[in-house]
């Protein structure tokens, strides 16, 4: 700690630099995350994390930032809007059963890289001003409770769907953090504004929000299509509809998202018409095409097999056409056992 540094001035500078780097907001959190840690442990005890063993793996490092990064005294939390302008409304897309509904955050470049680059630049600005300081940057990183940190930093409140909400812009934004050894004064927590609303709980296609602030990941389409490596349980396949990568339903129905601000980041613009594309076109991508078209995209992380698995379910929920049935039959021989079983399920639904 530098004794004669004006930390209050530095905090204002950090917030201004964050905005200049393209973030919409920055705030400061202290490192007491014990309440969030309690909530996490209750959630883990109920086995709501499914196969996401990494959620349990980091133990108390998740809610004791100083155990994860020694000497941490405060956390800079930032948010970055990701919703591109001019998209067909998601709710219209989910009604067009032969089109693919892909979660809005995943249409463009991988946000991890975009946010990490900006956070590194923010840390460089601080270094240029005060000299070397202890820090580490994170975005969407398993050991970091980023929603709880952002809430403490005044960036919004955790809604009943367990996403962060901001009264000026809703919930379509990413979060990032810098753990620092700077004794910055924490911001105040924003108040809770869900009120008596339960829209996200009622409209979840698979009833994954089992109680306010309690999402059973094993029922959540985001988990089932992205994190889950095995088969999609039969009970959720019809409800998945055409949602083949993630699910935005709980955000789409949230009244606060009428205030959504579109992103200014060119990197988040949709690639390869992923915002409005036929399921069949995606299903016909070869593995080589999948790898090349998803280069630099978060979608690539699920791999070709899970991609085909999800698309087979989407096609099983589509309106039957000769082309769809033919494409499914054509893939049967070359598909892995996992994908084959999903194709057979789809064909059972489509062929009389």
The residues assigned a catalytic role are 140
DSSP codes of every residue in 85-119 = TTPPPHHHHTTSTTB-EE-GGGSSS-HHHHHHHHH
Here the tokens at position 345 are 């399920």
Q: Which residues are near ligand SF4 by CB under 6 A?
A: 159-161, 165, 194, 197-200, 253-256
Minimum CB separation from ligand SF4 for residue 253, in Å?
A: 6
Task: Give 124 or 198: the residue with its C-beta nearer to ligand SF4.
Answer: 198
Minimum CB separation from ligand SF4 for residue 189, in Å?
A: 16
Minimum CB separation from ligand SF4 for residue 252, in Å?
A: 9
Task: Give 30 or 203: the residue with its C-beta nearer to ligand SF4.
Answer: 203
22/11 Cα distance (integer angstroms): 17
Angle of helix 303-316 relative to helix 322-331, nearest 10 degrees, comes to 150
Task: Give 166 or 308: the residue with its C-beta nearer to ligand SF4.
Answer: 166
Task: Give 146 or 265: the residue with its C-beta nearer to ligand SF4.
Answer: 146
Within 222-300, strands assigned E span 243-245
156/171 Cα distance (integer angstroms): 9
Residue partners of 122: CB distance under 8 A and separation at least 6: 14, 17, 18, 21, 76, 78, 178
Here the tokens at position 352 are 């009389």
The three-state secondary structure class of 74 is: strand
Task: Give 43 or 256: the residue with its C-beta nearer to ligand SF4.
Answer: 256
Within 216-273, strands assigned E span 243-245
The three-state secondary structure class of 199 is: helix
Minimum CB separation from ligand SF4 for residue 258, in Å?
A: 11
Select the residue whose beta carbon is closest to ligand SF4 and give its number.
159
Minimum CB separation from ligand SF4 for residue 249, in Å?
A: 10
Minimum CB separation from ligand SF4 for residue 344, in Å?
A: 37
Please answer whether residues 303 and 321 qualify as being in contact, where contact means their C-beta atoms are separated by less than 8 angstroms: no
Task: Give 122 or 215: the residue with its C-beta nearer to ligand SF4.
Answer: 215
Within a 10 A sphere around the Cβ of 213, how many other Cβ atoms?
14
346/340 Cα distance (integer angstroms): 10
For the chain, how many residues are written? Answer: 352
Please answer whether residues 245 and 302 qualify as being in contact, where contact means their C-beta atoms are separated by less than 8 angstroms: yes
Name the residue among 273, 275, 282 with its Cα closest to residue 331. Answer: 282
């Amino acid at each position: 700690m530098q004794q004669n540094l004006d930390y209050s001035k530095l905090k204002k500078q950090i917030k201004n630099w964050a905005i200049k780097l393209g973030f919409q907001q920055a705030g400061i959190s202290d490192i007491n995350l014990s309440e969030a840690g309690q909530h996490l442990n209750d959630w883990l005890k109920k086995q709501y994390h499914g196969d996401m063993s990494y959620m349990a793996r980091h133990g108390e490092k998740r809610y004791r930032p100083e155990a994860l990064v020694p000497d941490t005294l405060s956390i800079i939390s930032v948010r970055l809007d990701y919703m591109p302008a001019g998209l067909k409304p998601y709710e219209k897309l989910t009604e067009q059963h032969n089109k693919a509904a892909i979660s809005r955050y995943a249409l463009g470049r991988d946000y991890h890289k975009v946010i990490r680059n900006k956070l590194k630049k923010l840390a460089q600005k601080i270094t240029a001003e005060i000299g070397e300081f202890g820090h580490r940057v994170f975005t969407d990183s398993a050991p970091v409770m980023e929603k709880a940190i952002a809430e403490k930093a005044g960036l919004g409140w955790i809604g009943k769907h367990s996403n962060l909400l901001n009264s000026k812009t809703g919930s379509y934004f990413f979060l990032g953090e810098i753990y620092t050894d700077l004794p910055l004064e924490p911001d105040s927590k924003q108040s809770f504004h869900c009120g008596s609303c339960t829209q996200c709980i009622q409209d979840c296609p698979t009833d994954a929000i089992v109680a306010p602030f309690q999402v059973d990941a094993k029922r959540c389409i985001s988990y089932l299509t992205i994190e889950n490596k095995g088969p999609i349980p039969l009970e959720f396949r019809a409800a998945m509809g055409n949602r083949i990568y993630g699910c935005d339903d709980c955000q789409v129905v949230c009244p606060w998202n009428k205030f959504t601000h579109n992103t200014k980041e060119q990197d988040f613009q949709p690639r390869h018409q992923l915002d409005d594309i036929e399921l069949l076109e995606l299903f016909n991508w070869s593995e080589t095409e999948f790898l090349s078209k998803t280069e630099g995209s978060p979608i690539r992380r699920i791999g070709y097999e899970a991609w085909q698995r999800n698309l087979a379910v989407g096609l099983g929920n589509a309106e039957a056409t000769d082309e769809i049935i033919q494409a499914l039959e054509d893939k049967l021989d070359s598909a892995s056992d996992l994908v084959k079983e999903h194709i057979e399920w789809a064909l059972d639904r489509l062929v009389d």
